[in-house]
Amino acid sequence: MERAQAFMENFIGNWNGDFPNYPLTAEDLKKPHAVMGALLQVLDRLGIDTDVVLAPPPKEDRNENTIYYWDLLPVINMTRVINHLVSVMPQVEATISIVHFLQPTATTSHSILLLLFNLMVFNEEKMRNIAPYEEELFAKTGEVKALEEKKNRLLEMLNEQAEEKGKRAGRLEKLDHDIKVFEEELKQEKEIHDEEKLELEVIQKENKQTEMIIEQKKSHRDALMAEVARKRALRVYDADDIKAQAEQATQNLQELEEKLDSLRAILMQKENSLKNLQTIKPNLDSANNLLHEIMKLSDSLKDFENGDLDTDSKEGELDVLNTELGELQAQLSELQAARDDAARKRAESQAKRQQERTVAHSSLREAEEKDKKLRERSKKALQRTEEIKELTTKYENEKTAGIEQLATIKNNFCTELKTMEELLLKKVVEAEKKVEEKLKNRHPVKEQTDHLIVSNRCRPLTPETPAALQVCSWPFGVSNLGIVGESGIRKGVFLALSVCCDAKYFKTHCDLVHELRKQKFAEDKMRDWVCLIDSESGRRTDVIGGPNKNGSRDYGLFQINDNFWCSNSTTPGKGCRVTCADLITDDITKASICAHKIFRRQGFPAWHGWTKRCQGDLPDISDC
């Protein structure tokens, strides 16, 4: 009994040392509210959200009987949490019920609190052992960041090269399109040229035939003249006869030439007459038809004269004949006008054909010049295409080299990372073994001591303090680690660790709005958040406010209070389950999650800056 009492007193002493804000006595172990409060303190240190433990079940899980045990819901939830923690401990076989909390005894309360207290101490010790390896791993973040930047630069280079390749491809497509257009135009011009060439060949053939006929006529004339000369040479005349015959022949020749000229003129007149006749033949036919009708009318007039001389007078007949004569003269004038019009049209058609022939010759010359220019442009385009192909080949080679370099960097990084992970896992296993050995070799403590497993707070160093590992931690600044001997003289090493906080300042409202959108802040509340951040931190992530009246401080962009929401130790805890150091880095992800949580529970009035300055006009972010 005395031994159990000593154990209980030892536990209470260790508890009061670790939880000075919530001290316990032996009598408190028999009070339900005191036991529940102590359990909530331990759960908070374990990183379990106490609000979840105290919260009622969701509406869809409730029934009509829930209202009857509404006040017991926190106790029920606490029972479930502790049973779950006990279930994952194979060496512990126990079941906690509601009775242990509603009617606690010193023994049961001591057992439950001792079990959870040891679990808390074990977890914190384990985290402290892993911390150096985490720092070593995080120290590699700079190298990882440099490699990622190098990777991003290479990707940007690849993107630029791809963009240039796309532009070159576009230019090649445009050149191909232009070449096709020029080829189509050249094809059309060649077709026109071939048609004109065929027409010219037909005309040339006609000219050749005409020349051949002329040559035949000339050769026939020469043969006749030669025959006449030969026959004349066979005849023998006197000089006078010869002279007379020559004069006669000359005279005959002149007469023949005159006759020939007259015949030619007559032939031309006949041809013209024939053409005119062919032109006026339709008119003559119509005139013949009219004359035929006139003859019929005259016959009918004669019959009419013979049959009815008494009824008609000569004057009426004369008027009828004069009228018909006038109509015939009008028709004759119309025929002459039609003939003149036909002659004019014929002359116009001849002029038009001549003009078309001239235009065809000029078009042919222009087509030849265009063909020459198109050939030159095609040659230049082919040369440019070859140059672009060479550049494309060069780009593909550079791209292949860049991809190989990226693959090499990636493989090296993965190898190093795997090596670091293996070393870290090895160190963690060794640390776990050491902690287990210490727990196995631990002896019962009859007096209050600063043992590693029972205490992780800084205590005053006195000669009575046994050798123990003392860790003094603050959220920022310097941490001291040392070993103290029996004489009170510090032995071992002094380790100064500096926690770096990378600050960030949002220069404009738009920069802040863009970052808040990345963190999923509601668009309809965006102006309130911008005003709140302006009022609380001036858009800086490294601001530490306070101290407040209760001694607490506010941290980061959203000025989150450490009394309720963030832990001042290296272990994440309290409402947001983060350390206060996490809230003053340039990465506002954790701070944003915490701000969302505060807003869901308390709304904007949780921030005094918003209450004082953001109830009226809000900043304009319409341009963002």
Contacts of 530 (CB under 8 A, 6+ apart): 509, 512, 513, 516, 618, 619, 621
Active site residues: 536, 554
Rounded Cα gap, residues 165 and 395, in angstroms: 8
User: How far lies 610's CA from each of 22, 510, 526, in Å?
Assistant: 33, 19, 13
> If you search the block for the tokens 């050149």, which residue do you land on?
175
Rounded Cα gap, residues 599 and 533, in angstroms: 14
Q: What amino acid is encoded at 247 in this protein? A: E
What DSSP letter does each residue of 314-358 carry, written as one string? HHHHHHHHHHHHHHHHHHHHHHHHHHHHHHHHHHHHHHHHHHHHH
Rounded Cα gap, residues 413 and 148, in angstroms: 10
Q: Please, where are the H alpha helices in 88-105?
A: 99-102
Surface-to-core class of residue 561, CB atoms within 10 Å of its CB (0-12 exposed, 13-18 middle, 19+ buried): buried
**Residue 145: in which H helix or E strand, if any?**
helix 141-234
Closest CA to 342 of 283, 392, 390, 292: 283
Look at residue 556 and give its three-state secondary structure.
coil
Given a contact cutoff of 8 angstroms between Cβ atoms, the answer to whether 165 and 392 are in contact is yes
Rounded Cα gap, residues 388 and 172, in angstroms: 8
What's the CA dihedral at 365, 369, 372, 375 to 10 degrees? -110
What DSSP letter does each residue of 407-466 carry, written as one string? HHHHHHHHHHHHHHHHHHHHHHHHHHHHHHHHHHT-----S----TTT--S-----TTPP
Given a contact cutoff of 8 angstroms between Cβ atoms, the answer to whether 532 and 614 are in contact is yes
Rounded Cα gap, residues 421 and 46, in angstroms: 26
Q: How many CB atoms lie within 10 A of CB 169?
A: 12
Cα Rg of the chain (Å, integer): 61
Phi, psi of 297 (to 5 degrees): -65, -40
Rounded Cα gap, residues 123 and 453, in angstroms: 10
Cα atoms in the 13 Å half-sphere on the side-chain side of 280: 19
Positive or negative CA dihedral for 405, 410, 411, 417?
positive
Look at residue 600 and give its three-state secondary structure.
helix
Tally of residues, the chain: 624
Given a contact cutoff of 8 angstroms between Cβ atoms, the answer to whether 529 and 516 are in contact is yes
- Max Cα–Cα distance, the chain, nearest Å: 194
Rounded Cα gap, residues 488 and 495, in angstroms: 19
Rounded Cα gap, residues 79 and 98, in angstroms: 6
- What the block records as the tokens of 36 is 């529940």
